[in-house]
């Protein structure tokens, strides 16, 4: 199946939902449930609750497989400062041993350039028509990827879908293997527990609901040709889910994540699940071996170093404290006893802000 035509894309943008369920290409159908899998050339073993990695993709890679780093963003101050920190650490890690990170694009879905165009490689795309996202701005993400894939020249064969609140801790290799993308499993994405809703979009004829991976679109490393097939369906399913009252209420702020998981399953694409892809403070406390810090949750502690989640702490770092502008330079470090992951996060934010020019401007 080739790229969607501009006409189809335009119709999709205005909420005309097409039956893409039958327009799928068989990518992989070698599944078994609950298998131990050999994950990479380091010889490590992980438990993958969804798929068993086929023998022909277990073997160590002999050549580099660079991937394009892409993240969608708005022109709001909240998005801008996160993108600047993210891009700073991308540049620091890109050329280190073990990295297969290629070029970088911020896909800006505001419809117009902003003041970071000279600092961060940026591709401007249109937002959804006014009112279509119904206040859920994340719906612009699949539409942004559809436009970018249609219009941009992307040299790499693989793409990493990332987000502004990601910080690269270690050089990131290509975790995908051939037709198998790699993704991070989220504990709160539970297709089997929401089967009655999932079946509205993933009919029984497509297979068991366990074919829907417990993931979102990010972080995911995927072949460009696969993403070109999935992205229009991802957009279609996202909009359809948002327009269904039961689905919207059940999935809330993770609706678009479920939509990507369903869209992938509709195209018979499953993912290698990598728990070491990223960690999420304050819940993940030890650094161990990881590639990305995702600072989506607030970190609140008292001065004894005890977590006070749900209650503003005597010490805190929460990205939502800085909706209207960037955090100040030289944030105070957490009190003794706070987990290594939180300390590392604040140190990495401080290093970036100390070295980025004109930090306090929007």
What pLDDT was estimated at residue 135? Answer: 86
Predicted TM-score of the model (pTM): 0.85
Across 61-84, average pLDDT: 93
What pLDDT was estimated at residue 32? Answer: 33
320-360 per-position pLDDT tens digit? 999 999 999 999 999 999 999 999 999 999 999 999 999 98
pLDDT tops 80 at residue 42: no
- Whole-number mean pLDDT of the chain? 87
pLDDT tops 70 at residue 139: yes
24-28, 109-113, 199-203, 229-233: the lowest-pLDDT one: 24-28
11-20, 86-95, 106-115, 164-173: the lowest-pLDDT one: 11-20
Give the whole-number percent of the chain exceeding pLDDT 70: 83
What pLDDT was estimated at residue 61? Answer: 53
> Which of 238, 259, 265 has its CA nearest to residue 27?
265
Give the confidence band of 58 by pLDDT, cuts at 50, 70, 90. Answer: low
What pLDDT was estimated at residue 53? Answer: 53
Cα angle: 6, vertex 7, 10; to 5 degrees: 85
289-313 per-position pLDDT tens digit? 899 999 999 999 999 999 999 999 9
What pLDDT was estimated at residue 47? Answer: 42
What pLDDT was estimated at residue 248? Answer: 97
167-192 per-position pLDDT tens digit? 999 999 999 997 899 999 999 999 99
What pLDDT was estimated at residue 14? Answer: 40
């Amino acid at each position: 199946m080739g790229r969607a035509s501009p006409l189809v894309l335009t119709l999709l943008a205005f909420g005309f939902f097409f039956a893409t369920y039958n327009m799928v290409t068989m990518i992989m159908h070698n599944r078994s449930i609950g298998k131990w899998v050999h994950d990479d050339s380091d010889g490590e073993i992980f438990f993958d609750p969804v798929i068993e990695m086929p023998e022909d993709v277990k073997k160590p890679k002999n050549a580099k497989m660079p991937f394009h780093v892409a993240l969608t963003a708005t022109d709001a101050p909240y998005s801008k400062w996160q993108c600047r920190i993210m891009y700073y650490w991308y540049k620091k890690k890109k050329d280190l041993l073990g990295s297969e990170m290629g070029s970088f694009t911020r896909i800006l879905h505001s419809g117009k350039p902003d003041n970071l165009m000279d600092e961060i490689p940026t591709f401007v795309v249109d937002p959804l028509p006014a009112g279509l996202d119904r206040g859920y701005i994340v719906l612009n993400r699949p539409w942004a990827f559809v436009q970018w894939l249609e219009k941009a020249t992307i040299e790499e064969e693989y793409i990493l879908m990332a987000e502004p609140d990601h910080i690269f801790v270690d050089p990131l290799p290509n975790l995908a293997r051939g037709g198998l993308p790699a993704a991070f499993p989220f504990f709160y994405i539970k297709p089997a527990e929401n089967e009655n809703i999932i079946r509205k979009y993933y009919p029984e004829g497509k297979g068991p609901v366990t074919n829907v991976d417990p993931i979102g679109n990010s972080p995911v490393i995927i072949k460009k040709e696969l993403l070109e097939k999935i992205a229009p369906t991802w957009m279609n399913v996202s909009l359809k889910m948002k327009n269904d009252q039961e689905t919207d209420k059940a999935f809330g702020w993770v609706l678009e994540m479920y939509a990507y998981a369903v869209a992938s399953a509709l195209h018979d694409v499953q993912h290698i699940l990598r728990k070491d892809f990223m960690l999420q403070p304050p819940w993940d406390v030890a650094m161990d071996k990881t590639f990305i810090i995702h600072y989506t949750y607030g970190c609140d502690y008292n001065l004894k170093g005890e977590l006070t989640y749900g209650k503003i702490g005597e010490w805190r770092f929460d990205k939502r404290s800085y909706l209207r502008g960037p955090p100040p330079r030289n944030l105070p470090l957490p009190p003794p006893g706070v987990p290594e992951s939180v300390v590392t996060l604040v140190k990495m934010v401080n290093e970036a802000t100390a070295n980025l020019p004109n930090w306090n401007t929007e």
